[in-house]
Structure 1
Amino acid sequence: MNENINEQELIRFIAGKTKADPKAIALILKHEQTFINSAKANVKGEVDIDSDDLVDYVLSRRDVKLDELTVEGILDAEMDYLMDKGLAGYLD
């Protein structure tokens, strides 16, 4: 996770938006980080993550007991947080 991000603040933000359990949110974020870390950067050093692939990966983890809609909500809320902080954006 980016060192500029307060993980507890991020989890509280996501929990406030999704009503998901903070432990479940932390688990989803951990799996997301693993997925991102295994992604290959392009020549500009950017990593393009397909959100459908990411959701499929997270849902395929045995310890994830959430449904697809909840996982998508958690990841969408995280992106909102990161965009609010100026740390992420969408590629066209």
Structure 2
Amino acid sequence: MTDNQAINEQEMLQYIVDKTKASKANIELVLKHEQAYINKAHENAKGKDVDIDGDDLADYILSRKDVKLDELTVESILDAEMDYLMDKGHAGYVD
């Protein structure tokens, strides 16, 4: 990934705060668990494409002991992150 393709994490974090009104700490916690889930999915895929189910991801995050958020908040954080990544050309949905 080149410098212009790199994700500006602070800009993304602010975008999610603006859209969800969740605290930066809660957003960072959700994104940390999301990354762990995705990393594990990649390990299990052994080089194949990985299909991440949004409901499974939200359930995984909600099952973490340090996450004290409701399902709607977690899903809105994940949705806002995806909106940001799609706006910047970093992600998309597979039909």
Which residues of 2 match residues 7-86 of structure 1 at below 5 A?
A: 7-40=9-42, 41=45, 45-86=48-89
Sequence identity of aligned pairs in percent?
67
The CA RMSD measured in Å over matched residues stands at: 1.6
By how many angstroms is 1:42 displaced?
7.8
1:4 Cα deviation from its structure 2 partner: 1.2
Taking structure 2 as the reference length, what is the TM-score of the superposition? Answer: 0.87
C-alpha distance in structure 1 between counterparts of 2:91 and 2:49, whole Å: 11
Task: Compute the displacement of 1:6 (Å).
Answer: 1.4
| Residues 42 and 81 of structure 1: CA distance in aligned 2, closer, same or farther (over 3 Å) | farther
What runs of 5+ residues in structure 1 fail to find an aligned partner? none
In the alignment, structure 2 segments of 5+ residues that lack a partner are none
Larger Rg: 2
Q: Aligned pairs, how many?
A: 89
Runs of 4+ in 1 over 6 A off after TM superposition: none
